[in-house]
Amino acid sequence: MLVALSLLTLYLSSAMAVDSYRSYLYSTTDEGTLDVAAPQAFIPGKVYGSKQLGVQLGSPEDLLFDKEGNLYICDAKANAIYVFSPELKHIRTIDEFDNMGNMDRFSSPSGICLDEDNNLYVADYGRQRVVELSQDARALMIIENPQAEILGKSFVFQPQKVLADKTNRIFVLSKNTGEGMLQFTKTGSFLGFFGSNTVSAGIFDRIWKWIMTEEQSSKLTQFVPVEYTNFSLDDKGFIYAVTKVSDVNHPIRRLNLFGGDVLVRQPIDGSKQVVGDVSYPYAGVSGITGPSSFVDIASDSLGNYYALDDKRGRVFSYDEEGNLLCVFGSLSSGQTGSFESPSAICCHDGKVYALDRSTAELIVFEPTEYWTTMMKAMEAYYEQDFEKSLELWEKIISRNINFDLAYYKAGFCLYRLGQYEKAMEYYKLVNAREAYSDSSAKLNRLNLNRDFAYIALSAAVCALAFVVISVIRRRRRGKFDRGSV
Amino acid sequence: MKQAFYILRHPIYGHWEMKRDNTGRYTDGIVILVIAVAASIFNRQARAFVFNMSYNVPLDILKQAAKVVLPVMLFCVSNWAVTTLYDGNGTFKDVFLVCCYSLLPLIFFRLATPILSHLLTLNEALYLNLIDMASYVWTGVMLFVGIKEVHEYEAGKMLLTLLITALGAAIIVFVFLLFFSLLQELGSFAYSIYRELSLRV
């Protein structure tokens, strides 16, 4: 099997144009969770440097696409926001704006976003403010130095990222703020924190608190700090947020309207984890140790999301249930198409766009045929076209025999198509006990329906035989009794 | 063997009769023990995928046999040692046979549950667990009654000796572990002396 596998990878790598990094997935086996080879899902198709883009990029920090497909790149070094046409030709530069009649400039802007009315929000990190600009570069509103009791006296407003959602709220990530995001109204007044960690006191905490004096318990940490590094809106209006702190259990979150984490962490391997790399060195010579540390996140129209890890320069893609779909990207200096210091990621038109602040490049990751097949399979799955989906998932299995999810999804398609025995076969391969049990229950019921006549008939025959035998016995005994008398 | 099935139906009288007439034979017990090992292997291998957590793990017959035989032997030795001190009338043979006979319900259920497991789904796992539980309870009752009869104990003394038996079993396990770890140490010590000598001389 190993030979077949390596042959398969060899075949795939020779078929693809670029194979610059190892593509892998995790699979749960008897020996624990192992990383197994997988076909390339995305390959760096084009790399746009200063030459190709027509502007001298300094330190690109954020990017986004508007509804017309224009690309906005926020450059912290050039203190400007560049706008490119859908063909990635430079259209204009926003480096100064009309602030109440005076011309004003940015200083190290590090985050941008667009709202429903196409107004541009800029997190002006150097000047400690968030600016809302109209398309003709007029300042509509400026958030500066928010005041509230909850913020405390020592609070310094250092906005790094900004987001405006569909309900006209503005979210700001401020540096060194452990309570979560800052939430503002459309007019710029501070509403409160959003997406903070909630602390639930366990039984031991309560016992401790009962023993401790007032003074001691007041010194206890009142909350577990969380510092989000970046966020983005998905199609349904939820906020995907990532944190960089490595010991947090949930580095990737999906926040609802009230700031609660609603990310589904139900991958089919039962691990209940969405954490990027599952196995990694804790110590090593390379210096890169420990879990993934995320700097940006983006989602596509199918509900899949892509989290960017700047520690190893990898992008992890998950589906809505938290199953790892693919890993791509690499960290190395000098090689075209790899990261040195990745800063932002964005999905547009099936491709993944990523920025690197160190090389000042825009890398466009283009999907391979393997990935587009998977996306088509998912689409068919959501449209309940299970026959088509099954065919596509089976095609994926033939490309990647170690892909647990493909077996599971193909199994589910078979289940919905009523081919329970084949579905059970697939479920068994990936140790999906519950799904297997569901299929077998359906199969049992079918068999029972089919064979019910025979079962009922044989039961009736048994009952009849029992009655006849007992009658005959009684008669014989009667004869015997009469004879003896 | 006929006696074994009689005891299954009449544990109190059956055990007492076995003791009175001295009809127990070691071969009976050993045969039952072998069947118990076979039943536990059958249970492990034939259980449906849904209820079988060791589905992908290769079978090790010796390990599986040890899982059945070792607890029985441990109980027998410990109980015999304790009851000899506490005026028990049973011999080692009696204790061993009681143990083996009380395995009978366990054997029957171990043979039946795999078949049942192919008909049930994960939602009905409760029934399977209930049946497993029932088999353990039945075995426990058989063991309790049997040991009580062969030693001619009252219930209170019986409970006390059972407690001490458990303690004794723990001590035996501890001593064995200690013994083997010391043996290992001794072995490695001897080996290092041999290496030292062979390198120098």
A442 touches chain B (CB under 8 A): no
The answer to whether A433 contacts B57, with C-beta atoms less than 8 Å apart, is no
Which CATH architecture fits A41-65+148-367? 6 Propeller (2.120)
Token readout for A323 is: 């199953």
Q: Which among B47, B49, B51 is the top mutation candidate for probing chain A, defined by the most A β-carbons within 10 Å of its own β-carbon?
A: B49
Are the CB atoms for A346 and A69 separated by under 8 Å? no
> Using CB atoms and an 8 Å cut-off, which of residues 15-74 of chain A contact chain B?
30
**DSSP calls for chain B:** -HHHHHHHH-HHHHHHHHHHHT---HHHHHHHHHHHHHHHHHHHHHS-GGG-TTSSSPP-HHHHHHHHHHHHHHHHHHHHHHHHHTT----HHHHHHHHHHHTHHHHHHHHHHHHHHTT--GGGHHHHHHHHHHHHHHHHHHHHHHHHHHHT--HHHHHHHHHHHHHHHHHHHHHHHHHHHHHHHHHHHHHHHHHHHHHH-
- Which residues from A are below 8 Å from B123, CB to CB? 437, 441
Q: Name the band, by pLDDT with cuts 50, 70 and 90, for residue A235.
A: confident
The answer to whether B57 contacts A428, with C-beta atoms less than 8 Å apart, is no
Q: Name the band, by pLDDT with cuts 50, 70 and 90, for residue A277.
A: confident
Q: Assign a CATH topology to domain A369-485.
A: 1.25.40
- Which residues from B are below 8 Å from A434, CB to CB? 122
B126 touches chain A (CB under 8 A): no
Statement: residue A232 has pLDDT above 70? yes
Sheet holding A190-194, edge to edge: A159-164, A170-174, A181-184, A190-194
pLDDT given for residue A223 in this prediction: 58
Closest CA to A119 of A176, A77, A72, A179: A72
Taking CA–CA distances from B125, the nearest residue in chain A reads A437
The answer to whether B122 contacts A437, with C-beta atoms less than 8 Å apart, is yes
pLDDT given for residue A346 in this prediction: 94
Are the CB atoms for B106 and B133 separated by under 8 Å? no
**B55, B57, B122 member nearest A434 (Cβ):** B122
Count of CB atoms situated within 10 Å of the CB of B78:
21
The answer to whether A437 contacts B56, with C-beta atoms less than 8 Å apart, is no
For residue A161, give every residue at least 6 positions away whose Cβ sits within 8 Å of its Cβ, in sequence order, or none. A62, A110, A111, A123, A172, A173, A230, A231
Token readout for B22 is: 């001295």
> Using CB atoms and an 8 Å cut-off, which of residues 26-55 of chain B contact chain A?
48-50, 55
Statement: residue A22 has pLDDT above 90? no
The answer to whether A437 contacts B119, with C-beta atoms less than 8 Å apart, is no
What's the rounded Cα separation, in Å, for the pair A337 and A315? 13
Residue type, A364: V
Closest CA to A79 of A119, A132, A122: A122
Token readout for A307 is: 């989290």
Q: Name the band, by pLDDT with cuts 50, 70 and 90, for residue A2.
A: very low
pLDDT given for residue B36 in this prediction: 95
Q: Where do the domains of chain A lie?
A: 41-65+148-367, 369-485
Most confidently predicted of A255-259, A413-417, A442-446? A413-417
- CA gyration radius, chain A: 30
Are the CB atoms for A36 and A402 separated by under 8 Å? yes
Statement: residue B85 has pLDDT above 80? yes
Sheet holding A361-367, edge to edge: A42-48, A361-367, A351-356, A342-348
Count of CB atoms situated within 10 Å of the CB of A261:
15
Statement: residue B193 has pLDDT above 50? yes
**A30, A436, A444 member nearest B49 (Cβ):** A436
The answer to whether B121 contacts A30, with C-beta atoms less than 8 Å apart, is no
- Which residues from B are below 8 Å from A433, CB to CB? 49-50, 122
Mean local confidence (pLDDT), A17-28: 73
Beta strands in A101-150 (DSSP E): 102-105, 109-114, 120-124, 129-133, 139-144
The answer to whether A440 contacts B121, with C-beta atoms less than 8 Å apart, is yes
For residue A165, give every residue at least 6 positions away whose Cβ sits within 8 Å of its Cβ, in sequence order, or none. A171, A233, A237, A239
Q: Name the band, by pLDDT with cuts 50, 70 and 90, for residue A18.
A: very low
Count of CB atoms situated within 10 Å of the CB of B162:
18
Enclosing H/E stretch for A387: helix A386-399
Q: Name the band, by pLDDT with cuts 50, 70 and 90, for residue A15.
A: very low
Statement: residue B11 has pLDDT above 60? yes
State the virtual CA torsion across A455, A457, A458, A464 in degrees, nearest 10: 140
pLDDT given for residue A485 in this prediction: 45
pLDDT given for residue A479 in this prediction: 64
Distance from CA of A434 to the nearest CA of B (A): 7
Q: Which domain holds residue B177?
A: 2-200
What angle, rounded to 10 degrees, do the helices at B11-21 and B92-102 form?
A: 150
Enclosing H/E stretch for A267: none
Buried b (16+ CB within 10 A) or exposed e, A9-30: beebeeebeeebbebbbbbbee
Are the CB atoms for A26 and A269 separated by under 8 Å? yes
**Higher per-residue pLDDT: A156 or A202:** A156
For residue A405, give every residue at least 6 positions away whose Cβ sits within 8 Å of its Cβ, in sequence order, or none. A268, A319, A323, A325
- Which residues from A are below 8 Å from B119, CB to CB? 444
Return the ∠ at Cα A334 (arms to A332 and A339), rounded to 5°.
45
Tell me if residue A143 falls in helix, strand or coil. Answer: strand
A437 touches chain B (CB under 8 A): yes
Distance from CA of B189 to the nearest CA of A (A): 34
Q: How many domains does chain B have?
A: 1
The answer to whether A428 contacts B49, with C-beta atoms less than 8 Å apart, is yes
pLDDT given for residue B175 in this prediction: 96
pLDDT given for residue A16 in this prediction: 41
State the virtual CA torsion across B147, B153, B158, B160 in degrees, nearest 10: -140
What's the rounded Cα separation, in Å, for the pair B26 and B96? 8
